[in-house]
Structure 1
Amino acid sequence: MAETIVDDRLWENFHRAVNMTSLDLRKWLAVQGAGETAETEPDRAGSALGHRVAAILAKRRADVTADDVDVMQRVVDKVTDLRGGDTGQWEPTAGDAHWRRRLMNVGHDPLGS
C-alpha cells in the first residue's frame, strides 16, 4: 500500500461528511455561482473551498497533499459544526435553505445519503 499523510480517522470522517460526488459538487457550485460575471468562467463559479473539496475527491488517498489534509479537516469541522455533533449520527434532515446551501457548498447534502 502506498504511503499517505492522511490518517484513517480523517479520511473516513471526510468521506462521511462529504456525501456528494465530485461531479455533483462541481455542478452545484456552477449553479450557485452562476451570474453575470461567472458565465465567462463557469469552472470558477461557487466557493473556492468547494472547488478544493471537489479536487480532493478526485484524488487517490496517496496523492493527497498537506494542504489537502488541512482542507479536509476544515470541511469535517465545518460540517460537524453545522450539523451539530458526531459524524456517525447524521441522518438526512431538512433545514432552512441557507443552512443547506452552506453545507452543500462544501460537498455535504443534508438530504443525501
Structure 2
Amino acid sequence: MSRNDDPQQTYREFTEAVNMKPGELSTWLETEESKQVGWHKGGKSGGGESVGHESGRRIIDLLRRKRADLSDADYSHMRKVIGYVHRHLAQRPSGDVRDTKWRWSLMNWGHDPLKG
C-alpha cells in the first residue's frame, strides 16, 4: 500500500485541501460564477455541468458522510480533489485573485484561496 492509499492520510489531506463548509460550497455552486468556469466533458461549450461543479456536489456529500461510511471510490475522489487543489494552487496568478476564474474554479473543488 503506497502512502497515497492510506485512508487516514487521504482523509487528512482532503480536509486540509477542502476549506469550505458543505453549506458554503452548496451556496457557491448555485452562483453564475461557479457555473461559468471549468472543463465540460463535451468540450468547453459542450453544455451540461463542468467536471469541477460535479466534483463540488460530490465533495458536499463526502463532507456530510461519516468517515466509516466512505468507500474506496470516495477515497479515490478525495485523492483527485487533493491533486486538483495542489496543482491549481501552484498556478496562482499574480495580483488580486478575488474575482478570477482561477479562484472560482478552485472554489468548485471546495477550496477558497482567500480563506486563511
State if a TM-score over 0.5 links the two structures: yes
Question: How far is the alpha carbon of 1:33 from its aligned partner?
Answer: 3.5
The answer to whether residue 107 in structure 2 is matched with residue 110 in structure 1 is no
Unaligned 5+ segments in structure 1 are 35-44, 86-92
Does the aligned pair in 1 maintain the 2:56–2:109 contact within 8 Å? yes
Give the residue type in structure 2 aligned to 1:56: L
Specify whether residues 94 and 108 from structure 1 end up closer, same or farther in structure 2 by C-alpha distance, changes over 3 A only. Answer: farther
Does the aligned pair in 2 maintain the 1:22–1:58 contact within 8 Å? yes
Structure 1 runs, 4 residues or longer, greater than 4 Å off: none
Partner of 1:17: 17
Equivalences for residues 1-113 of structure 1 within 5 A: 7-31=7-31, 32-33=34-35, 47-84=53-90, 94-95=96-97, 97-113=100-116
Question: How far is the alpha carbon of 1:6 from its aligned partner?
Answer: 6.0
Partner of 2:42: none
CA RMSD between the two structures:
2.5
Identity of aligned residues (%): 32
Unaligned 5+ segments in structure 2 are 37-48
Deviation per residue, 1:29-86 (Å, 9 max, x gap): 011349xxxxxxxxxx87111100010000111111122111100000000001129x
Deviation per residue, 1:6-40 (Å, 9 max, x gap): 62211110000000001100000011349xxxxxx
Does the aligned pair in 1 maintain the 2:7–2:75 contact within 8 Å? no
Give the residue type in structure 2 aligned to 1:72: M
Give the residue type in structure 2 aligned to 1:111: L
